[in-house]
Structure 1
Amino acid sequence: MEIELLEKENTPENVIEHCKAVYEKAMKIAANFDNVDEDLIRKGALLHDIGRSRTHGITHAIAGVEIAKTYGYPDDVLNIIERHIGAGITAEEAVKLGLPEKSYVPQTLEEKIVAHADNLISGTKEVDID
């Protein structure tokens, strides 16, 4: 369903492929933990960049939340979309970047897994963090 939603929202094909790669990496990371919500990770990873159908700037996370809300996604999915940007952005940093003043730092394990997986994937390729 999430892939179809990305397509419906006219998300660029390269972004869809990136979301799939982030999902695959996130699931590999999640396999190392007990009590992780894999369905939540799937939805969040596949939709984390849906806002790139509107903008490729840092505000794509905000746009993504608005899009996902219209389809009735719950807050835990919206939080993954919103908090995946950068390595986590504090409320003070958000203001400097022109974002609404709030923390964009991942809080839950699922948020952290998706954000970390996104940082490890450039396009569709895994990057070395060194």
Structure 2
Amino acid sequence: MREQDCIDLLRRAGCSEGVIAHCRAVRDLALTYATDPLVDRDLVEAGALLHDIGRGVTHDIHHAEVGAEMCRSFGLDEAIVAIVERHIGAGLTADECSLLNLTPRDCMPRRLEEKIVAHADNLVKGTRVITMEGRMLHAVALPRRQRKRICRLGQEMELFR
């Protein structure tokens, strides 16, 4: 998908210019991790641009689930849908989804492209890139298991930078 096609979908979904700017910043950072020939750079770009499409409807934790459903309704590739659905923190287990009143499904990033976008999103606050330490300060209220998962994802992704 071209960048403009993604931006058009974000606008169609009701995303603000602030959300669009954030998505562009996440895309820019994600592409710095997508240098390995095994990584589908086009998928990383489209997934990063669209990861917060659900914020056109809600800004709570449900935005990933809502965004995935929007992407499906737009007929987007399931690989993009998976990035949107699995980008929260370092992923959520089906049990964690259930506890958060989300559909109880496995939302753990599996593919490298999914992990790259989740990690890049963790490191972009608004449009500003923050450190891993800064991210962990923002995650202090999360359960220990989720904080550890964010750290492990960060360590894994730093190998690609």
Same-fold status (TM-score > 0.5): yes
**Corresponding residue for 2:14?**
10
1:65 pairs with 2:68:
yes
Q: Which structure has more RCO (C-alpha within 8 Å, separation ≥ 6)?
A: 1
Counterparts of 1:88 and 1:65 in 2: how far apart (Å)?
A: 14
1:36-75 per-position Cα deviation (integer Å, ceiling 9, x unaligned): 1111111100000000000001010111011111211011
**Corresponding residue for 1:99?**
102
Amino acid of the structure 2 residue aligned with 1:27: L
Counterparts of 2:97 and 2:74 in 1: how far apart (Å)?
A: 26
Counterparts of 1:93 and 1:110 in 2: how far apart (Å)?
A: 22
Counterparts of 1:10 and 1:91 in 2: how far apart (Å)?
A: 28
Calculate percent identity across the aligned residue pairs.
47
**Corresponding residue for 1:21?**
25
**Corresponding residue for 1:76?**
79
Counterparts of 2:90 and 2:43 in 1: how far apart (Å)?
A: 20
1:49 pairs with 2:57:
no
Amino acid of the structure 1 residue aligned with 2:12: K
Amino acid of the structure 2 residue aligned with 1:97: L
Q: TM-score, normalised by structure 2?
A: 0.78
Q: Specify the SS of the correspondent of 1:86.
A: coil
Conserved 8 A contact 2:64-2:87: yes
Two-structure CA RMSD over aligned residues (Å): 0.8
Counterparts of 2:75 and 2:39 in 1: how far apart (Å)?
A: 22
Counterparts of 1:37 and 1:78 in 2: how far apart (Å)?
A: 15
**Unmatched segments (≥5 aa) in structure 1:** none
**Structure exhibiting the larger radius of gyration computed from Cα positions:** 2
CA drift of 1:34 comes to 2.0
**Corresponding residue for 1:85?**
88
Conserved 8 A contact 2:27-2:48: yes
1:64-107 per-position Cα deviation (integer Å, ceiling 9, x unaligned): 01111121101111000000012211111111111111111100
Q: TM-score, normalised by structure 1?
A: 0.96
Aligned residues: 129
